[in-house]
Amino acid sequence: MILPLFIIIPLLSAFLIAIVSGKKDNFANGLSIISALLLLFGAIYNFITQNQEVIIYKIGNWDAPIGINLVQDSLTIFMLIIVGLISLTSLIYSRQYIRYISTDWKYYSLFMFLITGMNGVIITGDLFNLYVFMEIALLSTYALVAYGGKAEEFEASFKYAIMGIVSSTFILVGIAITYSATSTLTLAKIAEQIPHINTKIVYLVGGIFLMGFGLKAAIIPFHTWLPDAHSSAPAPISAMLSGVMIKVLGIYAIIRIFYNIFGAPEFFLNIFMILGVISILIAGFLAITQWDMKRLLAYSSISQIGYILLGLGIGSTLGILGAVFHIFNHAIFKSLLFYNAGSVEMTTETRDLKKMGNLKKLMPVTSKTSMIASLAISGIPPFNGFFSKLIIIIAAIQSGHPILAALAVIGSIQTLAALLKVQRFGFHSENKTEVTENKTSFGMKFAMITLAFLCFAGAILIIPGIREVTLDPIVEVIKNNGEYMNMVLGR
Amino acid sequence: MDNKSGMTIIVKTITRITVPTIILYGCYIIFHGHLTPGGGFAGGVIIALALLNVMIAFGRKFTNNWLNINFLEKLESISATLFLILGILGFLISSAFLFNFINHGELFRLLSAGTIPVLNIIIGIEVAMSLFLVVWVLAGLKLDKGEEL
């Protein structure tokens, strides 16, 4: 599938939903599921046919410095598949869940704008274009977080909007400084100019971008908006935010800028390592203390982002492999956990773990899938999370950071403790609830079972034969950071 | 017309005279987007401000009767869709998304530059409608909190 279609399909369906839908959401839901399916299959088709080469698409047939480039390499396709997968299950899940809030087409239109923004950030090869698509994704999430229409949801959305605008301003200032120093906004051209400019400017711009994109990725100490926003949003949106959005706007942009453009300076890699470990420990500790189920999961997201950042910061092949694999795994099990939280909230009408009771018998599918996801996120073999965390920890030891490795192991135990708390109080306690009806529908069960299956199946990505075609090319893109520039500029 | 809503007769009279002129000026900026400074966005903002001028001078109720708000909402989505369709035509007819596939014509003529004037008009409609509707909706929220119109 040609590259601009990844932006055109969701954008067109967003507008078509707005034009055609009447009062009901049937058409909107159907069209959005079809376009998410098209995006997922398109990404998989590109993965099969790409042959590990970089594909450049010139919009309007203008060359690089004048026009905007769209770039497709292994990392791009990997992220597109994650976005497609999680948005498809999220839309299937939404069909009943959103009717519980309202029967309106606006949700689906905003959802499609969110996908547009994220796909745009992933495939663009232009720094300012990245900023524009990021704003599209953010503006639609501000509205989606407040979709339930309760007071605390508006508060969370407002807080998120303020923090989002602050970080976007930092990014815009960073882009302005980069432009004044290099006279170009095309990512590959900037990468070409970076060795020729003053290193102080690189550090200044790097620091500003770290603040901006660090806020998007919710790395501690830039995390304060995340627990509110991710726990107040409707469950499918929480899954999109925690599963995909913080990785696309935060981690993916950090990879492109710090690895492919700046060429992975040692100074920033050390900062990533330290911030990663701080995020793992502090967020893991904060997660244990929460009694609100979705808030606990939101804090645990920060801690898992810490693992990804630690893997990236180590910078060795093994570390990056672990980080990339953990991006995929975390998208799957965290989305699944938010779907579980959503169906529990729908049935019991509470998110407070103390008020939940013996849901094991009432909601067998939700209970079992959440057990699988909890074990996977805590790093219990044979689930996918075990392998990615193991690789990151081994990479930390190999690169001579045994203390960081030990702290990462402690973080994993914290995650286990937090998620066992959910299991113990949410699903297996003796506390009897008055709820007798399970409101989980077929679509919601389907989404949960699909992702629970992927928690098992995801582990096969690490088997050597499969890893060489799936994960290794991505690690190659990040590790050989100069290669991106040469491939895009056609050398 | 209801004299009680909106502002005084002086403001209303001035608005009645100026609004068509402002809209005309906005159209001029849009249609000459490929020749002179300005373009779809700038012209669209001017048109949106003209409509908002009516809303401020004559009040919400009059504007609601004067304009078909539902139609404007549809128009906003339709113009964005048209932009995308023009972009898609670029790679169906020729080589790339948003490719300028119409004959470029002679420089400095009104009918020249291929698809650019068409895109400018579409952007103009989109910007005018969305800016006007954003303020319209925000103003409506404020009224809902107190009493009815």
Q: Is residue B1 part of a domain?
A: no
Where are the alpha helices (H) located in A98-234, listed in sequence order? 106-123, 127-145, 151-182, 187-193, 199-217, 226-232
Cα–Cα distance list, A340 to A233, A299, A308, A386 (Å): 14, 16, 24, 21
**Domain total of chain B:** 1
CB contact under 8 A, A19 and B81: yes
Mean pLDDT of chain A: 89
Q: Is residue B1 over pLDDT 60?
A: no
DSSP state of A382: T
Cα–Cα distance list, A377 to A202, A337, A476, B14 (Å): 36, 9, 26, 67
Question: How high is the pLDDT of residue B48?
Answer: 93
Query: Residue B65: which pLDDT band, with cuts at 50, 70 and 90?
Result: confident
Contacts of B96 in chain A (CB under 8 A): 57-61
Question: Which among A8, A18, A61 has the least Cβ separation from residue B99?
Answer: A61
Tell me which residue range forms the domain holding A67.
Answer: 5-488
Q: Is residue A79 over pLDDT 80?
A: yes
pLDDT digit string, tens, across residues A397-442: 999 889 999 999 999 999 999 999 888 888 887 777 777 777 788 8
Rounded mean pLDDT, A219-233: 88
Rounded mean pLDDT, A449-466: 88
Q: Is residue A263 over pLDDT 90?
A: no
Q: Is residue B3 part of a domain?
A: no
Contacts of A8 in chain B (CB under 8 A): 84, 87-88, 97
Smallest CA–CA separation between A168 and chain B, in Å?
22
Rounded mean pLDDT, B87-94: 84
| DSSP symbols for B68-126 | -HHHHHHHHHHHHHHHHHHHHHHHHHSSSTT---S---STT-SS-STTHHHHHHHHHHH
CB contact under 8 A, B97 and A15: no
Tell me which residue range forms the domain holding B107.
Answer: 9-145
A236 or A434, higher pLDDT: A236
Q: Is residue A54 over pLDDT 80?
A: yes
Q: Is residue B59 over pLDDT 50?
A: yes
Q: Is residue A162 over pLDDT 90?
A: yes
pLDDT digit string, tens, across residues A187-203: 888 888 888 888 899 99
Contacts of B87 in chain A (CB under 8 A): 4, 8
Distance CA A198, CA A176 (A): 16
Distance CA A206, CA A267 (A): 10
Distance CA A216, CA A305 (A): 11
Smallest CA–CA separation between B6 and chain A, in Å?
31
Range of A102-106, A457-461, A474-478, B44-48 with top mean pLDDT: B44-48
As beta bridge partners, residue A186 has A126
**Domain total of chain A:** 1
Query: Residue B142: which pLDDT band, with cuts at 50, 70 and 90?
Result: low
Question: How high is the pLDDT of residue B3?
Answer: 58
Question: How high is the pLDDT of residue A210?
Answer: 92
Distance CA A99, CA A107 (A): 10
B96 or A170, higher pLDDT: A170
Question: How high is the pLDDT of residue B22?
Answer: 94
Query: Residue B2: which pLDDT band, with cuts at 50, 70 and 90?
Result: low
Q: Is residue B124 part of a domain?
A: yes
Q: Is residue A115 over pLDDT 90?
A: yes
Question: How high is the pLDDT of residue B149?
Answer: 40
* Mutant choice from B73, B75, B83, B84 vs A, greatest count of A C-beta within 10 A: B84
Query: Residue A84: which pLDDT band, with cuts at 50, 70 and 90?
Result: very high
Contacts of A58 in chain B (CB under 8 A): 96
Q: Is residue B2 part of a domain?
A: no
Contacts of A15 in chain B (CB under 8 A): 77-78, 80-81, 84
Question: How high is the pLDDT of residue B147?
Answer: 44
Q: ipTM of this predicted complex?
A: 0.85
Question: How high is the pLDDT of residue B145?
Answer: 47
Q: Is residue B99 part of a domain?
A: yes
Smallest CA–CA separation between A62 and chain B, in Å?
9
Residues of A with CB under 8 A from a CB of B: 2, 4, 8, 11-12, 15-16, 18-19, 57-61
Q: Is residue B20 part of a domain?
A: yes
Query: Residue A337: which pLDDT band, with cuts at 50, 70 and 90?
Result: very high
Q: Is residue B146 over pLDDT 60?
A: no
Q: Is residue B81 over pLDDT 60?
A: yes
* Region of residue A379 (left: phi > 0; alpha: psi -120 to 50; beta: else): left
